[in-house]
């Protein structure tokens, strides 16, 4: 329910407004300018109706201070006579509209409705303009793999309701894109989408950012501040990396999910909120529960519809589509001539393990387009060394049948990967961190490869003995 503050020194006027509006609005009253600001210190109404002629702090002074301290708060002024000069002055100070005493009940209701609709429309236009100005070349979900098709089908289904969604996946896989897609396909699509990247906010400020704070609630709180949940009201709030919240803040998030209400930091008034919540994490939340760093009750509350995003290395068939999209976008933004990529360069991109996922791929293409934007085709030598060099520095001659003979390409690649990993482990006496460094990869990727190939530390001795004569690898 919208809140309206009536400011007038005549008690009969205040009571008249209360009777007229009580069925459709929450009505607050103040019989002086000083009391109006006391109310504003505790409340944040959606509209103020202000009498210009009051003893003490007059309506003009109130209007001026409201315009400075509460920008965006619409004010309808009330005047007893058709004082055009005062009305013009008030409009210059920021008044939204005016009404002349004695006013018609239907007239004031229509004026209030029109003013509140205009405020909402202005907010929605501002939001939509910010969305349009985003670079959607980087905000589209690109892919034709079965994994992506399945995820997009789930997104379409879940977008229709208000169910809480948990998006899981490694950093750079596009968790926020999924959250935005859900929002833009939902009935809330023309309402705010507020994204909160939890690790970017210091722990002592996170609660204030989420729920807002009252003036004086802590040392630097010089004025009231609305939190992200209030800003997301009627829309969607996306809490990225929710596992980074402390347990106390997690408890407050749980209350919002269950009761749809909260208090600002330092405040006592309960604030109702209607916002759809989507959360994301690059960690396994069940593991975090076991560690005691994530609340089990919150996990079951957010894990209503889980969406798991695969890393880029598990959907390499989507790399050509992603690369083409990034080329087109950077070509348009940078004014480049580049329009295609050499097949050998694409092969290198598809062979790379992409620990940074789509974000890393985007950065690579941006780097190339910045340095070689005058070229029409991206050549293999334009690629960063960690991509082009990884293949050039390892040469394999197994003496086995060539492609198309006794084994498939996938089988050959798996065999060579297995042999290289075993040789690296042998040379480093089984120390995975050193083996990963030798293979110019990360320990996490090495462990992933070992698990995928079914390798254990015990395998390395026998396999190395069998393959030693066949394998020639350039390793430091």
Domain harbouring 423, CATH code: 1.10.10
Q: Inform me whether the pLDDT recorded for 172 exceeds 90.
A: yes
Using CA atoms, how far apart are residues 276 and 304, in angstroms rounded to an integer? 13
Does 108 map to a domain?
yes
pLDDT confidence band for 409 (50 / 70 / 90) = low
pLDDT for the residue 473 = 37
246 and 172, same domain (yes or no): yes
Specify which residues 6 forms β-bridges with: 29, 49
Mean pLDDT of the chain: 84
Using CA atoms, how far apart are residues 467 and 463, in angstroms rounded to an integer? 6
pLDDT confidence band for 458 (50 / 70 / 90) = low
- Among candidate residues 337, 360, 392, the one where a domain is terminated: 392
Using CA atoms, how far apart are residues 152 and 221, in angstroms rounded to an integer? 43
Question: How is residue 296 written in tokens?
Answer: 């089990």
How far the first Cα of the chain sits from its last, in Å, is: 70
Name, in order, each residue with C-beta under 8 angstroms of 448's C-beta and a sequence gap of 6 or more. none
> pLDDT digits over 95-121, tens only?
999 888 877 888 899 999 999 888 877
Residue spans of beta strands (DSSP E) within 273-412: 276-281, 305-308, 340-341, 377-378
Domain range holding 455? 409-467
Q: Inform me whether the pLDDT recorded for 394 exceeds 60.
A: no
Question: Which CATH number characterizes residue 331's domain?
Answer: 1.10.8.60
Nearest of 199, 177, 167 to residue 362 by alpha carbon: 177
> Is there a contact between 4 and 119 (Cβ–Cβ < 8 Å)?
no
Q: What is the 3-state secondary structure (H, E, C) of 333-347?
A: HHCCCCCEECHHHHH
208 and 269, same domain (yes or no): yes
Using CA atoms, how far apart are residues 114 and 443, in angstroms rounded to an integer? 62
pLDDT for the residue 396 = 40
Q: What is the pTM of this model?
A: 0.63
Does 440 map to a domain?
yes
Does 142 map to a domain?
no
Does 338 map to a domain?
yes
271-272 and 261-262 strand pairing: antiparallel
> pLDDT digits over 261-300, tens only?
999 998 888 888 999 999 999 999 999 999 999 999 999 9
> pLDDT digits over 49-70, tens only?
999 888 889 899 999 999 888 8
Using CA atoms, how far apart are residues 288 and 198, in angstroms rounded to an integer? 16
156 and 50, same domain (yes or no): no
> Is there a contact between 256 and 237 (Cβ–Cβ < 8 Å)?
no
pLDDT for the residue 410 = 66
How many structural domains comprise the chain?
4
Transcribe 186-241 into DSSP letters. Answer: STTTTS-EEEEEGGGS-HHHHHHHHH-B-TTSSTT--S-B--HHHHTTTSEEEEET
Using CA atoms, how far apart are residues 188 and 276, in angstroms rounded to an integer? 9
> Is there a contact between 235 and 275 (Cβ–Cβ < 8 Å)?
yes
Does 381 map to a domain?
yes
Does 472 map to a domain?
no
189 and 291, same domain (yes or no): yes
197 and 274, same domain (yes or no): yes
Residue 408 DSSP one-character state: -
Find the helix or strand (DSSP H, E) in which 330 lies: helix 319-334
210 and 195, same domain (yes or no): yes
- Among candidate residues 310, 336, 359, the one where a domain is terminated: 310
189 and 206, same domain (yes or no): yes
- Among candidate residues 98, 128, 158, the one where a domain is terminated: 128
> Is there a contact between 244 and 294 (Cβ–Cβ < 8 Å)?
no
Nearest of 356, 364, 366, 372 to residue 328 by alpha carbon: 366
115 and 183, same domain (yes or no): no
Does 404 map to a domain?
no
Question: Which CATH number characterizes residue 246's domain?
Answer: 3.40.50.300
pLDDT confidence band for 85 (50 / 70 / 90) = confident
Q: How many C-beta neighbours within 10 Å does residue 73 have?
A: 18
293 and 371, same domain (yes or no): no
Using CA atoms, how far apart are residues 22 and 3, in angstroms rounded to an integer? 10
Transcribe 67-78 into DSSP letters. Answer: HHHSTT--EEEE
> Is there a contact between 418 and 453 (Cβ–Cβ < 8 Å)?
yes
67 and 123, same domain (yes or no): yes
Mean pLDDT, rounded, for 383-410: 56
Q: How far is CA 218 from CA 173, 213, 214, 337, in A?
A: 38, 9, 9, 54
- The 3-state DSSP class for residue 6 equals strand
121 and 196, same domain (yes or no): no
Specify which residues 100 forms β-bridges with: 79
């Amino acid at each position: 329910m919208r809140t309206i503050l009536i400011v007038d020194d005549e008690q009969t006027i205040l009571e008249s407004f209360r009777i007229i509006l009580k069925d459709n609005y929450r009505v607050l009253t103040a019989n002086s300018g000083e009391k109006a600001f006391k109310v504003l210190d505790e409340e944040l109404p959606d509209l103020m109706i202000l009498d210009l002629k009051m003893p003490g702090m007059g309506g003009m002074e109130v209007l001026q201070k409201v315009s400075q301290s509460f920008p965006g708060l619409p004010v309808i002024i009330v005047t007893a006579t058709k004082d055009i000069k005062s009305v013009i002055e008030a409009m210059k100070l920021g008044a939204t509209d005016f009404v002349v005493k004695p006013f018609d009940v239907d007239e004031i209701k229509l004026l209030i409705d029109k003013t509140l609709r205009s405020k909402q429309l202005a907010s929605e236009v501002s939001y939509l303009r910010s969305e349009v100005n985003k670079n959607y070349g980087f905000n589209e979900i690109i892919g034709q793999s079965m994994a992506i098709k399945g995820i997009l089908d789930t997104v379409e289904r879940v977008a229709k309701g208000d169910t809480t969604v948990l998006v899981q996946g490694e950093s750079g896989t596009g968790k926020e894109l999924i959250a935005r897609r859900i929002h833009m396909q939902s009935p809330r699509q023309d309402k705010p989408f507020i994204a909160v990247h939890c690790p970017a906010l210091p722990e002592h400020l996170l609660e204030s950012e989420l729920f807002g704070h009252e003036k004086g609630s802590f040392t630097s709180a010089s004025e009231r501040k609305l939190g992200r949940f209030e800003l997301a009201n009627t829309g969607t709030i996306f809490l990225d990396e929710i596992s980074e919240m402390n347990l106390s803040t997690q408890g407050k998030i749980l209350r919002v999910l269950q009761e749809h209400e909260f208090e600002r930091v330092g405040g006592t008034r309960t604030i109702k909120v209607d916002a759809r919540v989507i959360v994301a994490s690059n960690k396994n939340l069940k593991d975090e529960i076991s560690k005691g760093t994530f609340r089990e009750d919150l996990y079951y509350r957010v894990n209503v519809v889980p969406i798991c995003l695969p890393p880029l290395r598990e959907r390499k068939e989507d790399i050509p589509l992603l690369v083409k999209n990034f080329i087109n976008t950077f070509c348009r933004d940078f004014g480049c001539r580049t329009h295609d990529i050499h097949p050998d360069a694409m092969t290198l991109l598809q062979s790379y393990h992409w620990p940074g996922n789509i974000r890393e791929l985007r950065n690579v293409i941006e780097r190339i387009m910045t340095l070689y934007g005058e070229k029409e085709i991206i050549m293999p030598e334009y690629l960063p060394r960690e991509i082009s060099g990884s293949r050039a520095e390892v040469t394999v001659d197994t003496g086995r049948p060539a492609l198309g003979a006794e084994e498939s390409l996938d089988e050959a690649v798996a065999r060579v990967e297995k042999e290289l990993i075993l040789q690296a482990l042998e040379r480093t006496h089984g120390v995975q961190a050193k083996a990963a460094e030798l293979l110019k990869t990360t320990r996490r990727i090495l462990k992933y490869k070992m698990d995928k190939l079914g390798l254990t530390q015990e395998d390395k001795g026998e396999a190395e003995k069998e393959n030693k004569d066949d394998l020639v690898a350039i390793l430091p």
